[in-house]
């Protein structure tokens, strides 16, 4: 029996896929739980249309992420901090500080969990910090830490 999946089903497929499954599996499991619907001609046409709409939305979102990544890779943030002996900071610069400054500079909210900082910055210098926007999209932001005068 041919069915169109309404939701992602592990080991079967993703939502909107047209699958050929056993009659009993479709009648007794997939359809009663709302995981699939029978593949009629109108349902197949509707699924194809909705799949195209989803693909267009994903393409727009991917283009926006790439544009943001290009902006972030050219961004340099300068932090002024109090410095003690051996050029160590009295505090530290955390992913939260970086996310706040990035949000203020580019005008878009950046979540602190997206800033891939292994440990807080505690020294003067220049650092490259990756920001994970999406899978496989991680632009590096340049962080410059200078002493406060």
pLDDT value, residue 50? 87
Q: Are 99 and 115 in contact (CB under 8 A)?
A: yes
| Alpha-carbon span 130 to 141, nearest angstrom | 6
Confidence of residue 127 (pLDDT cuts 50, 70, 90): very high
Options 3.40.5.10, 3.90.550.10, 2.40.10.10, 3.30.1320.10; CATH of 2-60: 3.40.5.10
Residue 101 has pLDDT above 90, yes or no: yes
Q: Does domain 68-147 have CATH number 3.10.430.100?
A: yes
Residue spans of the domains in the chain: they are 2-60, 68-147
Q: pLDDT band at 47, cuts 50/70/90?
A: confident
pLDDT tens digits for 12-43? 999 888 999 999 999 999 999 999 999 999 98
DSSP letters, 83-118, are: B-GGGEEEEEE-HHHHHHHHHHHHSS---GGGB--S
Residue 94 corresponds to which tokens in the numbers above? 């955390």
Q: What sign does the CA torsion over 113, 119, 124, 125 have?
A: negative
pTM: 0.70
Tell me the average pLDDT across 98-127.
92
3-state SS, residue 15:
coil
Instruction: Please give the Cα distance from 149 to 80 (Å, whole number).
Output: 8
């Amino acid at each position: 029996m041919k069915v169109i999946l309404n939701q992602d089903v592990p080991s079967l497929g993703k939502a909107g896929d047209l699958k050929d499954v056993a009659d009993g599996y479709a009648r007794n499991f997939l359809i009663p739980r709302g995981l699939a619907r029978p593949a009629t001609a109108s349902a197949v046409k509707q699924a194809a249309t909705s799949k195209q709409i989803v693909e267009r939305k994903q393409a727009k979102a991917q283009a926006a992420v790439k544009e943001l990544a290009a902006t972030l890779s050219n961004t340099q943030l300068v932090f002024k901090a109090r410095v003690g002996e051996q050029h160590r900071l009295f505090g530290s610069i955390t992913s939260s500080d970086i996310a706040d400054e990035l949000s203020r500079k580019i005008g878009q909210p950046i979540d602190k969990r997206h800033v891939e900082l292994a440990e807080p910055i505690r020294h003067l210098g220049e650092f490259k910090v990756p920001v994970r926007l999406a899978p496989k999209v991680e632009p590096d932001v340049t962080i410059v830490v200078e002493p406060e005068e």
